[in-house]
Structure 1
Amino acid sequence: MQSDMSEPNERERYEWDVFIVHSGEDEEKAKGIYDELSKQGIRCVAQFCSEAFTPGKSVFDNIVKLISKSHRTILLLSENSKKSSWINLETILAIEQTQHRGGNNDLVLRILLVDIDEKDVPALRTGVLQNVPALCISFKEQNWVEKVKSSLKERIALPQVLHVGSLAHGLVFNHFTGFVTFMVPRLKLVNLKYHMLLPYSCKTHPSLSGRDDASGIEIVTEKIEAFEEDYQGKSRPFHLTVYTLQKGDEKYRFFADMPNVLTAIYELRERSLMSGVDSRLQLDRFYYTYNKVFNHSKNKDYNETIVMLKYDDQKRTYYQELYDALKASATAAKESPTSGQHKETVIYKRDEVESSGADRASAPEVVIICTENEKLDRELGGDIQTFLENKQVRVSAYAGDVGNETVEWYIVILSKESLRDELVSKQCHDILADSIDRNEVRLVIVLRELNTNEVPETINWVTLLNASEPTYLQNILNTVKGGKIEMEHRLPAGDVATGLTSGYLTNYLRHTLFLRSPRDEGHLDLRERMFKFMRENKITCGLIPKMFVICNKSCTIDQKVAETAMKGLSLDDKRKVESFGELRLPPVYLSSGAQQRRPLYLIPFRYTNSETGKEFCFIAEYCTPLRTLYKMANDLPLAGLHKHEMYAQMERFVSLFQEFTHTPRVKDTIGDFTDVVQLVIHDDVGGQTLMDALEDAFSSVNPKDMLQV
């Protein structure tokens, strides 16, 4: 009998229709499901089947085989399976398999709960499993088999269900790398915490100053401290706004903000710019992901600086939320300078269990493993060891005991030669097994002359670094010094490009390109600001009336635009790009809770070609969300973005940018981005010079559109 669970072509593609994952204690339930589905012609496989595990192959290889050769993977979820850290591995591999299959990202994984009381379901579906589709059944129901079959047939897109979300995840890391990492060090200098206000609606306020008559709470701006940081090839202004909250005789000094990136969620929903945006769900994901960021030991320098305040802004005001948090903090400080937290806040903490200082001083932190059969692998291992030891990281030889509590990380050099080395393969599997038992990943793979698609599926979900990249040693250091990584953090991040694209357009470009300058500065739109710059600086060669956004395919930003444009040119090249020093277009100003009246500048450049006689000015800057992708893939292992996925996310960002800006709804409600901004795709990975990429973009400009004064 043929199953109607999958299409005929899908049935031919897979050896099994369903792989049933379960704990040993739940085997009888799993067998019940196996038997009934098999009667329906559905080809099932499970750990208890004789054909499931190939003799001589590792557990990892067998699990990968079962998932990759099955159309669907069912996780039989229970208290028993929740206790098994191996379930995390199978969840990760099932979601990874979804991405590897390509197409429409049809989710492989399903969750099945058998004879579980509905009130107990939320406690089981925590963390990584909370957004994966789940079906509750009882064997006493007559139609439970039909329910399971229906669930298996349903097509569900991967970005809808990853715990990180396709929207919120990108926004978290964009905010973290572009704001928090700059602001927190400043706050520590003035002994202030960062109170992050997270309203359910995701609607933010330009300023927190004002009075709440119902509660009698008043907030006033005390001072604004301006500073600048080099960011993505240009100087970026920041405004640190310090507030004072007063209620009666009580007075508190504080720093707070509603993350501006939340505006993207609010705008997408309110303006119907993207279907299916649930602001509460996205806020929960935003909160969940940020909590993971702040609790990671890699971010211990921010200890006790971040306070997250999630609240229902339909029932409570931010005045009340801040007052309760500030009062609780002040009370706790009086009772004990080192303890006390407001119940509605989350302050990230360092890992609770650490070795003593004496033990850590004498014990190795890192072990390097490579094949003894290849000289180049041994030399690479020596280079890594020398670099790490120079950075005060302890390195020792592998003693064969992966259970050694003192070893924090194992670095394995993988090459074509080591793939044939059975000893290296066994060591990798032993380390992975130990990692899974601990529910934390302690393995870094360094590739030597090996492509990521040659890496066995059993290990391609851990941190992969390529020795051919100039920064690989620093990336190793960042990983091993970052502390442990929970299994959950190795889940693929999904479609983070959606959040990065929507945030970039609605939170930055929309303001930079469509806001007018203040009335006392002429109330100028973008073209008028360009004309003013040309007149004041006597620019007569013309200016292209749009902004060029440079997208490096490598997602890196090493130098400023003018410097990079001249890089790679021969000495006799007649082309030149130069900046105007500190000169900028007249700014527009953006106010958001923590940053009042922050100026947004555009940077002009001059292009000349002495051979053709061409000369004109243009506006350009790097695409900052791509730098966030790079940081996620290289410096932030808990972001869940594998390095080999970074380039695909970059291409998706470009595609979404074009799609979003050409949408009629966007043009009608926000503005016509296609008139004022153009992407410059710079293939620096393939060796293209930025000058050539810019000239390709310039060629699409009609000379008649050039601004002249």
Structure 2
Amino acid sequence: MEDKKYDVFVVHCNNSDDNNFVQNNLMPWLKQQNLKTFLSDEDLLPGSEILPGITRGIHQSRKTLILLTEESLKSQWCTFEIIVAFEKAQRENQMSVILLLKGVDKEKLPKNGVLQAAPSIEVLESDTWKDTLGKYIREEISIPMILQNGNVAHGLVWSHFTGLLDPILPHLDEMIQETDVYKSNGSCFPIVLYELIPEDCRLGLLPSKGSNGNITYVASTKLKITNRAGNEREYELRIFSLKDQNDGKEYFFIADQPFVLNTFRHVEDDNGEDEETTQRNLNLNVARFCYTMQMILDHPEMKRQWKGNRARLVQYCDGGKESVEDILLKAIKEDLAIYNREKIDWFNSGLYREEQSYDYDAYICAFKEDIEEEKKITEFLERHDVSVAEGRSANMLGNTHLIGKSRWLIFLLSKAAMHDPEFTLEWLGTLQEVLNKGHTLVVPVILEEDREYGIPEVLRWVTYIQKMEGDQDNYMQRILKTIQGGPVPMDIKSYLPAGNVAYGLALGYVKNYLNLILQDLNSAFNKCSEPCQRHFYILLPRSCKCKNTLEEENDHCIVTKHDTILLYTAPNGRKYSCDMYKLVSGQGRNKIDYILGLYAAPVLCLYQMIMIHIGGLKEEEMYKQRQEFSTILYGMLHTQLGDKANLCRFVEFDGTRLFYTTIVYYSMPLGNREKWEEYAHVIMITTTFGTGVADGRAKWSPVAHWSHSKMTAGQAILDAIKREGQN
């Protein structure tokens, strides 16, 4: 690790009790240990900018020691310092954060990723805690050693959220209210989706027909067919009834059990641990899953979009003191009491309305060289009924009256703008003002990344939007989506990076999707109305942008949907299907191919995480995790799927490059399979710069190809088919 200027950066709240403890107890001991410390209120140079100064101090320190008290958890400044410290830990891959708990129970802290994994010490009356602190300061711990399980839970939460909850919850009202069951029993049918979470991750509580105990299947309600990642899907929710055994009254409800929980069960079954260890691991992972999911469900932006609380987690333990029926009945009655008592109109109640009224939706501040870009954004926003303040200029200080009348302040930050001292001073000063108020009403837009210095560290705690190379209007769509939402509280739970989601997404994709649909894929090929390529094409765009369909038409090919093929029906009744496409190409359009193909849903999940804004993911990190997802996925295939993986063809492309992966390494001698990850790593690097087949091991390795022309998904698939024929 590179040398650091300081040993410890100390984070604490600037109140009398915390100050006294730091100055009279902690700092003298650190100095006795010959540890060089950075204390922001002492070591920041007079007149220097506070935000950059704090960031530099954290990055120049080996460890960050965070004194957590009831007061510090409420402090916006402490929250900012904590976020910067944990992001530094993730980027350096070292657990460089130590929590010092004074009057705070760790069980009550957010359980997301690195915060839960960080070593913690409880301050006691005796000084024994100082010995442990000294040990933690001196030892080096890499994050992968401690975060894998947490990452699995986090990835599975986002997979479930983007795959089911986010598509259906905005439509839950109509899905329920249009049913005959609701029309006849509306007073005892809450408009809530109940997510039933068993501690042992064994699903199957909800019957597809008939009854299971006191829970009876009644009917189903469906959401119109929706395209998702190039695949048509019909969302079906089941309606159940439950009788109160005390008075015989019957209640109705919609419920689901997250299928992704199977992943935890599969992992523990594969590990072969004893029952006690298995259940302990399951309890921990379920707790992580529920905490992260609850954080999303409770977020004000989600409640605004869904018109209130539209989903509820119900945890239960088979054989526990309280039956799942009793727990569920209690939840149903609580939700009905709230709904029937208040009859809340969530859109008109003002629950999430701003305390202050504004004359304008947005004020745009642009550097003198970026005025043309500012005009484009203004025109785009105004076309979508967003009012933009008039009389803008690059001088923010001269327009404070307009800024105060605008709900959102949009900074356009080009390389030239970030290198201009006067402009930088103004937007940094405004950021500090926002931090003091405790709400994020600022949207920095990175027009051009400074490749030498990167994105300013002080922006990492706030929702910033980056315009990528070749991006014409997508970044403006993201600006619009941000403005249409509400102000987001500066909060550890909302902003703290919760770890790498790639591992959980890959594991869930293999266990809960590929493992199912590949079971009888050959039968699916036989159902096709036309002769079809006998491979399942899975697209992984580097940009993570997944269209609703693979259909396209250009000079190279015409891709049209031909049919929808059922691949698998799960025990809970969910149907897995895939669209069949007709590809017409060649001179004179005389070549016709038929394929089964779609985008990888986890890649879309990554993209949706940055679009939703509360996922703790930025665009630059999205690209890294997309690549990591691919690497982990390929490494899992042979151990998890065996020869079934031969049916898959993974096509990676990003509009200018194509990396086509054919899982042909199964033809390798069995003893050489353990070399696959080593080979794959080398090949992925060489194909970034090479042309044609990667190297002499081609018969064992993926077929790799480099293209300098811009490629669409259809072109990438055609190129893959062509190379398959050549090999």
TM-score calculated relative to the size of structure 2: 0.78
| Shift, 1:672, TM fit | 4.0
| Shift, 1:581, TM fit | 1.7
Report if the CA contact (8 A) 1:82-1:124 is conserved: no
Aligned to 1:30: 22
1:121 equivalent to 2:114? Answer: no
Compared with structure 1, are the counterparts of its residues 422 and 318 closer, same or farther at alpha carbon in structure 2 (3 Å cutoff)? Answer: same
Structure 2 SS opposite 1:638 = coil
Q: 1:230 aligns with which of 227, 232, 248?
A: 227
Aligned residue type for 2:501: V
Q: 1:136 aligns with which of 122, 130, 145?
A: 122
Aligned to 2:36: 43
Aligned to 1:629: 606
For structure 2, the residue ranges without an aligned partner over 5 or more in a row are 178-190, 658-709
Aligned to 2:662: none
Matches within 5 A, 1:283-362: 283-299=286-302, 300-302=304-306, 303-315=308-320, 316-330=322-336, 336-338=341-343, 352=351, 354-355=353-354, 360=357
Aligned to 2:627: 651
Larger helix share, 1 or 2: 2
Q: 2:549 aligns with which of 560, 578, 585?
A: 560
Report if the CA contact (8 A) 2:217-2:238 is conserved: no
Compared with structure 1, are the counterparts of its residues 531 and 332 closer, same or farther at alpha carbon in structure 2 (3 Å cutoff)? Answer: closer
Q: 2:570 aligns with which of 590, 598, 621?
A: 590
- Distance, in Å, in 2 between the alignment partners of 1:226 and 1:587 is 20
| Shift, 1:562, TM fit | 4.3
Deviations 1:70-126 (A, max 9, x none): 11111122233223211111111111212333xxx112211113xx46xx4247734
Aligned residue type for 2:4: Y
Compared with structure 1, are the counterparts of its residues 475 and 331 closer, same or farther at alpha carbon in structure 2 (3 Å cutoff)? Answer: closer
Aligned residue type for 1:697: A
Report if the CA contact (8 A) 2:215-2:240 is conserved: no
Report if the CA contact (8 A) 2:225-2:233 is conserved: yes
Aligned to 1:181: 166
Aligned to 1:257: 256
Deviations 1:583-614 (A, max 9, x none): x445421243xxx3535345354576569997
- Distance, in Å, in 1 between the alignment partners of 2:384 and 2:549 is 29
Name the % identity. 24
Deviations 1:479-530 (A, max 9, x none): 122112233323334211122212222222222111xxxxxxxxxx322332
- Distance, in Å, in 2 between the alignment partners of 1:367 and 1:180 is 34
Aligned to 2:678: none
Report if the CA contact (8 A) 1:495-1:649 is conserved: yes
1:455 equivalent to 2:455? Answer: yes
Q: 2:60 aligns with which of 52, 69, 80?
A: 69
| Shift, 1:679, TM fit | 1.3
Report if the CA contact (8 A) 1:590-1:600 is conserved: no
Report if the CA contact (8 A) 1:166-1:495 is conserved: yes
Aligned to 2:679: none
Structure 1 SS opposite 2:85 = helix
Aligned residue type for 1:529: A
1:112 equivalent to 2:93? Answer: no
1:370 equivalent to 2:374? Answer: no
Structure 2 SS opposite 1:463 = coil
Compared with structure 1, are the counterparts of its residues 218 and 693 closer, same or farther at alpha carbon in structure 2 (3 Å cutoff)? Answer: closer
Q: 2:717 aligns with which of 690, 694, 700?
A: 694
| Shift, 1:185, TM fit | 4.0
- Distance, in Å, in 1 between the alignment partners of 2:637 and 2:497 is 27
Compared with structure 1, are the counterparts of its residues 476 and 204 closer, same or farther at alpha carbon in structure 2 (3 Å cutoff)? Answer: same
Structure 1, 275-284 or 418-427: larger mean CA deviation: 275-284
Structure 1 SS opposite 2:435 = helix
Deviations 1:408-459 (A, max 9, x none): 3221111233223334323322332233223332221112333475332222
Compared with structure 1, are the counterparts of its residues 578 and 479 closer, same or farther at alpha carbon in structure 2 (3 Å cutoff)? Answer: closer
Structure 2 SS opposite 1:561 = coil
Structure 2 SS opposite 1:367 = strand
- Distance, in Å, in 2 between the alignment partners of 1:165 and 1:590 is 27
Aligned residue type for 2:601: T
Compared with structure 1, are the counterparts of its residues 555 and 148 closer, same or farther at alpha carbon in structure 2 (3 Å cutoff)? Answer: same
| Shift, 1:181, TM fit | 2.9
Matches within 5 A, 1:697-708: 697-698=720-721, 701=724
| Shift, 1:472, TM fit | 1.4
Structure 2 SS opposite 1:278 = helix
Report if the CA contact (8 A) 1:295-1:349 is conserved: no
Aligned residue type for 2:562: G
- Distance, in Å, in 1 between the alignment partners of 2:526 and 2:343 is 57
Compared with structure 1, are the counterparts of its residues 368 and 662 closer, same or farther at alpha carbon in structure 2 (3 Å cutoff)? Answer: same
Structure 2 SS opposite 1:492 = coil
Deviations 1:274-305 (A, max 9, x none): 99993333333333333332333333131232
Compared with structure 1, are the counterparts of its residues 322 and 660 closer, same or farther at alpha carbon in structure 2 (3 Å cutoff)? Answer: same
Report if the CA contact (8 A) 2:578-2:597 is conserved: no
Aligned residue type for 1:23: C
- Distance, in Å, in 2 between the alignment partners of 1:349 and 1:154 is 54
| Shift, 1:532, TM fit | 4.1
1:21 equivalent to 2:11? Answer: yes
Structure 2 SS opposite 1:13 = coil
Over aligned residue pairs, what C-alpha RMSD do you find? 3.6
Aligned to 2:428: 429
For structure 1, the residue ranges without an aligned partner over 5 or more in a row are 1-9, 340-346, 515-524, 571-575, 705-709
Q: 1:581 aligns with which of 533, 539, 562?
A: 562
Q: 2:151 aligns with which of 145, 166, 181?
A: 166
